Amino acid sequence: MNRGSTAYRSLGLGIVLSGCAVAEMTPDVRRNDASANDRAAPADVQSPPMDVPVPPADTGVEPADSGTGPMCGAGETSCGGRCVNTQTDAMNCGACGTACASGMACMAGRCQATCDMGTMRCGSSCVDTATNAMHCGACDMACPSRPNATSVCMGGACAIRCGAGFADCDMNPANGCEVDTSTSVMHCGRCGNVCVGNNGTPSCSAGACSFTCNAGFGDCDTNPANGCEVNTNTAQPHCGRCGNACPVPTGGSATCSAGTCGGTCPAGQTLCGTSCINTQSDNMNCGACGTVCAGGMVCSAGRCGAALPTRYTQTTSTQPFLSACTAAGRQTVLTSVDDSTAATTLPFAIRFWDQNLAAGAPVTVSSNGNIQLLSGGSTLTSGSIPSTSTPNATIAPYWRDLVTSTSGVCIATFGTAPNRQWVVQWQSVTHYSSGTGPLTFEVVITETTNTIDLVYGTMSSVLSAAVGVENTAGTLAVGGCAAMATSCAPASNSRVRFVPSP
């Protein structure tokens, strides 16, 4: 058919015949075409539908960055002034401006209708809901933000990752990482690490424990695990401060009180400087520390004199009867016995005749009415004084063959230093041969003055006995009877005193 046919020109339509396409032509085109009736028609080229974008061929080479957009991270491309991942961005899939059609997602730089295994489509993206914090477990299930933490998705469940210096010590994700481990004394450096403040105030700085000791305490072993372990108010090796050891006085013991060093001495001695001194007999500290006896003088009974006492003088006594058997802290010995002795010690230092006896010196108490100083302990039923035969250094208030009662012999100390009195009391004893009595009597020795009193209570059926004091050699004695006789029958409620003399 001739293309110039009037019938087909009026239709204005393109018709495909035998593989040739015919398009509508304007009058001017027709005039030009009339002179070319014998020219062949162009081959038919089929075009894709206009609503389906065709991505460019995949060459394996990332599109070049034009350099006009922002600097993007690895795996990102600048598209329209923002950084995108053309492998997953549905608006720029594979290349900038290549948008995926509605209902499709961008995967590996290609628009696809379904997501890869292990991912699911959320909006226009394929995501792994096991790890994606914006779609955790399901699409649009974003993990909430928590204090001091980064929200993460693990196994499809929201979790938190604590920031540096913080921890979730209560295991409650709802309040985030609630503990500042750099400052918390209960969780210092890590959860559960409690800072110890034994006798001090604990603190935590930069995740490490420290403490400030309370007044009067110190960390002397530098071991923070036990805090401030030393009481510097009382500890002798660390008195007042760590390492300040108190010196031990000669003859005594070191003490620490209120953080100040001191010392204690045996009974009858006084701390003078760094030594324990018997101020009753020390010429350089006579009666008190620093009191020096002048040349030629000696210290006796705490007083400087021309000569030391070497003997006793009998005198009238005003000493009242002291009940050792009812005294607090008493010692009771020799209950219901015959011809027995008991050992005890002097509670304070004394001068006996010409001998200085220290506190703690041994004493033997006999059931037969006498005490023996440094004699070894004799149970003789009777004797006379003086006598070089043992016992010697004897004080005899009523030396006879006696039997003690259930009350026995009571020993007690009365008063306070330097004026104490030591009492040995025989309570309700009887005569061995006749059983007569009762007889109650005692010896009283006074500290500092060194006086000896023989004091009598009830003396029933009294007989003659040895009474007085004998020296350590057994060569001298002063009787306690009239005219200083050494044998008599003491009356009830009587008393006699022996005073040291030069």
Tell me, yes or no, whether 29 lies in a domain: no
Q: Is residue 429 in some structural domain?
A: yes
Please give the pLDDT value at position 451.
96
My answer on whether 293 and 388 are in the same domain is: no
Q: Does residue 427 share a domain with residue 278?
A: no
With b for 16 or more beta-carbon neighbours within 10 A and e for fewer, the 438-476 pattern comes to: bbbbbbbbbbbbbbbbbbbbebeebbebbbbbbbbebeb
Domain end among 257, 289, 306:
306
Does one domain contain both 320 and 288? no
Count: domains in the chain? 2
pTM, 2 dp: 0.46
Strand ranges in 346-451 using DSSP code E only, listed in sequence order: 350-352, 355-357, 362-366, 370-373, 394-399, 402-403, 409-414, 421-431, 439-446
Same structural domain, 288 and 411: no
- Identify which of 401, 496, 382, 407 has the alpha carbon closest to the alpha carbon of residue 443: 496
Q: Domain containing 374: what range?
A: 312-501
* pLDDT value for 70: 65
Q: What is the pLDDT of residue 268?
A: 82
In terms of domains, do 282 and 333 share one? no
Whether residue 378 is contained in a domain is answered as yes
Whether residues 363 and 493 fall in one domain? yes
**Phi/psi at 478 (5° precision):** -120, 120
Domain-embedded: residue 196: no
Consecutive H or E run containing 9: helix 6-11
Write down which residue in 306, 335, 354 finishes a domain: 306
In a domain, 221, yes or no: no
The distance of Cα 352 from the centroid of its chain, to the nearest Å, equals 53
Residues 294 and 439 in one domain: no
Query: Is residue 353 exposed (0-12), middle (13-18) or buried (19+ Cβ within 10 Å)?
Result: buried
Of the three residues 260, 276, 306, the one that is the final residue of a domain is: 306
- Let me know whether 289 and 426 are in one domain: no
CA distance 278 to 267: 9
Are 412 and 296 members of one domain? no
pLDDT (tens place) for every residue of the chain, 502 residues total:
333 333 333 323 232 223 333 233 333 333 333 333 433 333 343 333 334 444 444 444 444 444 445 678 888 999 988 999 999 888 999 999 999 887 787 888 888 877 777 888 887 778 899 999 899 999 999 999 999 999 999 999 999 999 999 999 999 989 999 999 999 999 999 999 998 888 999 999 999 988 899 999 999 998 888 889 999 999 999 999 999 999 999 999 999 999 999 889 998 899 998 899 999 888 999 999 999 998 878 887 788 887 778 899 999 999 999 999 999 999 999 999 999 999 999 999 999 999 989 999 999 999 999 999 976 788 999 889 999 999 999 999 999 999 999 999 999 999 999 999 999 999 999 999 999 999 999 999 999 899 999 999 999 999 999 999 999 999 999 999 999 999 999 999 999 999 998 7
For residues 275 and 333, state if they share a domain: no
